[in-house]
A and B are shown apart, each in its own frame.
Chain A
Amino acid sequence: MSASPNQATDSDRSEVTAGIAAVLHPAARGAAREVPDAPPRGRTAWSLLGLSGIGFGLLAVSIVVSVRIGTSGVSYGDLGRSLGSRLGVAEPLPRLLDSLIWDLRVPRVLMAAVVGALLAVCGAVLQAVTRNALADPYLLGVSHGASTGAVLVVVLAIGAGSLGVTGGAFVGALVSFGLLMLLLRRSGLDSVRVVLTGVVVGQLFAAVTSLVLMASGDADATRAITYWLLGSMASARWGVVIVCAIVAALGLAVVWWYSAALDAFSFGADTAASLGINVRRTRIMLLVVTALLTSVAVASVGAIGFVGLIVPHGVRFLVGPLHRALLPFAALAGAVFLVWTDALARVSFAPQEVPVGVFTALIGVPLFLFVLRRRGEL
């Protein structure tokens, strides 16, 4: 108490802390002696490690099994040979089969894993930042912005093929997010304002999309866009998968760095600030990162609903609400979930393919209800 805090920096305070560490707060000294100095917390860490082992194992198995599933059968042997021939240890497969596995099936399954992870993490982050259990990655309206972009590209026939649509969607998502931030500039990123403004911006872009579709009166374009809006991995190719995977890895690292800050938001912005979180900067950073991640996902495969909403709730049920564990496990669970729903979308009405968004909702709703019931919230 005698030292004076004159413009202390983190480092000289930590010297002070180091001095205090052994003795704790003066008032706590008596109590501190009664407490064993190394509490047996190891078990929790080990059980998380075990759970992550199970998670990664499950993801690997899901990816391998899912590659086999589809309208045309592929055996594990074929998969092994396709992979082996690229590593130079096996005879190459016939061209057509090899192309089916390597150029269509594998990128598609990996895309599902990456997008599932992205959406789940974005959902978890936005639920914490807005303190809203119903928040999902599309809360910020970027999916509607993306569809406006995609529709404009299709109707005006700018760019070429699927890359044009992806590019248009990405630009549309960024424009809508830019508008959102512009509207929020003065109001200070309060949770409720973010949610309301996001909904309003989303509705605006949804209306623009409908207007463009109606005005163009092109039935093919309308059908293509409807399909795209519900989400589909069918057009996933290696280039896009690799870009998404890199963005996902970077994004996850950034938001994970903020995990302590996200925990601090549990009791609101003022408490977070009193715990040393720069609330405004943290909110802007997290909103920008989640908007970018969501834009990449939506632009690549369309707006797949429900993953970002239910997966974080399910994972909280398993590993608790602390973001240090929640975010990586949400990524794993989201990946596994979307790999399987995409496999289901491929085969359930074969040869007709169902948009994967339909299945994420069909499977997601009962799971969501189950989790909420178990947590006593419904």
Chain B
Amino acid sequence: MRITVEDLSWAVSGTGILCDIDANVTSGETVGLIGPNGSGKSSLLRCIAGLRAPTSGAIRYETSDIHGWSARQIAQYVAFVEQALDSDSDLRVADVVALGRTPFRDRWRGLSHTDRAIIDAALAQVGLADLRSRGWKTLSGGERQRAHIARALAQQPWGIVLDEPTNHLDVRHQLELMRLLTDTDQTVLIALHDLSLAARFCDRLLLLHRGTLVATGPPEDVLTPDRLRDVFEVDAEIGQDSLGHLTVAYRGTA
């Protein structure tokens, strides 16, 4: 599904967080959202996932403005995964994934056969089928994040929005998670801190700085030493590894 952000601004009690953002994510694309801490990545993602209403501007799913849509309607199109999300209650893995069926469920009834089949498929897709009856608290960080991805997939969304899902994961699990996301032909919008990871897995990058979009395009166009100096305040070297992936090495702060 094509997601379009038109002239979006968002302010909290007079303080502007996002300013005049125009961006889009086309169907089936994996788009990375990068930017330093406090640049407004999370806010933009929350606006796009319908969790915050923009002060002005519009968000369109395909051609329709989501302004005035109910949370349930939005949840039927877009799934949202927060960073390192924990819970006190000891849900089983299958129960967590079943939460993804919430926007489609009849309140009085339990899960239907269709729901269960979708949950099983989502568990299989992220490789958690064997852990389906395990309690949440017994899972490792990587397994938890995969469970959240499975929950998002169980929502059968037309687009998935993720806020730094690779935080707190070791290298192998970061790669696995990104592979999992890019292997689906989902429309994916993902905020990332690791620029090399973003360069390697994303079709396009959106670079956010102090609430405005300063660059957008393929990773090799967006990630230039000048821009990294201006936005991230680091002295960086952009190179290529032997596999042909773009790499970002840091010499120090700028």
B41-66 to A contact mask, C-beta < 8 Å, 1/0: 00000100111000000000111100
> Which of B70, B95, B113 makes the CB contact (< 8 A) with A263?
B95
Residues 177-232 (chain A) with a chain B CB within 8 angstroms: none
Contact between chains at B71 and A273 (CB < 8 Å): yes
> Which of A17, A260, A322 makes the CB contact (< 8 A) with B107?
A260
Contact between chains at A274 and B117 (CB < 8 Å): no
Contact between chains at B92 and A320 (CB < 8 Å): yes
Residues in B neighbouring A322, C-beta threshold 8 A = 91, 95
Contact between chains at A264 and B102 (CB < 8 Å): yes
Q: How far, in angstroms, from A274 to B104 measured CA to CA in the complex?
A: 13
> Which of A4, A6, A277 makes the CB contact (< 8 A) with B102?
A277
**Interface presence of A47 (CB below 8 A):** no
> Which of B71, B90, B124, B186 makes the CB contact (< 8 A) with A35?
B124
**Interface presence of A267 (CB below 8 A):** yes
**Interface presence of B143 (CB below 8 A):** no
Chain A residue with Cβ nearest B119: A39
Residues in A neighbouring B72, C-beta threshold 8 A = 10, 276-278
Q: Which stretch of A23-31, A142-150, A238-246 is in the interface?
A: A23-31
**Interface presence of A86 (CB below 8 A):** no
> Which of B62, B64, B85, B186 makes the CB contact (< 8 A) with A27?
B186
Contact between chains at B80 and A271 (CB < 8 Å): yes
Known: A270-B46, A321-B91. A13 touches B113 (CB 8 A): no
> Which of B1, B89, B91, B103 makes the CB contact (< 8 A) with A275?
B103
B153 smallest CB distance to A (angstroms): 6
B80 smallest CB distance to A (angstroms): 4
Contact between chains at A32 and B103 (CB < 8 Å): no
A37-49 to B contact mask, C-beta < 8 Å, 1/0: 1110100000000
Residues in B neighbouring A68, C-beta threshold 8 A = none
Known: A5-B158, A27-B183, A320-B92. A275 touches B100 (CB 8 A): yes
> Which of B76, B80, B86, B117 makes the CB contact (< 8 A) with A270?
B80
**Interface presence of B27 (CB below 8 A):** yes
Known: A20-B156, A35-B120, A41-B116. A27 touches B185 (CB 8 A): yes
Chain A residue with Cβ nearest B74: A276
Residues in A neighbouring B74, C-beta threshold 8 A = 276
B189 smallest CB distance to A (angstroms): 13
**Interface presence of A90 (CB below 8 A):** no
Residues 7-48 (chain B) with a chain A CB within 8 angstroms: 27-28, 46
**Interface presence of B242 (CB below 8 A):** no
Contact between chains at A131 and B88 (CB < 8 Å): yes
Contact between chains at A271 and B117 (CB < 8 Å): no
Contact between chains at A5 and B64 (CB < 8 Å): yes
Q: How far, in angstroms, from A316 to B135 measured CA to CA in the complex?
A: 13
Residues in A neighbouring B82, C-beta threshold 8 A = 267-268, 270-271
Q: How far, in angstroms, from A32 to B186 measured CA to CA in the complex?
A: 16
Known: A32-B117, A131-B88, A321-B89. A276 touches B103 (CB 8 A): yes
B90 smallest CB distance to A (angstroms): 6
**Interface presence of A34 (CB below 8 A):** yes
B18 smallest CB distance to A (angstroms): 17
Contact between chains at A39 and B116 (CB < 8 Å): yes
Chain A residue with Cβ nearest B104: A17
B8 smallest CB distance to A (angstroms): 18
A6-B62, A264-B99, A273-B71 given; name 18 further pairs at CB < 8 Å.
A1-B27, A8-B73, A25-B184, A27-B183, A28-B153, A35-B121, A35-B129, A41-B116, A257-B108, A260-B107, A270-B82, A271-B82, A273-B51, A275-B75, A275-B102, A278-B71, A321-B95, A322-B95
B residues whose Cβ falls under 8 Å from a Cβ of A? 1, 27-28, 46, 49-51, 61-64, 70-80, 82, 85-92, 95-96, 99-100, 102-105, 107-108, 110, 113-114, 116-118, 120-122, 124-125, 129, 153, 155-156, 158, 183-186
A residues whose Cβ falls under 8 Å from a Cβ of B? 1, 4-10, 13-14, 17, 20-21, 24-28, 31-32, 34-39, 41, 128, 131, 133, 257-258, 260-261, 263-264, 266-268, 270-271, 273-279, 316, 320-322, 324, 375
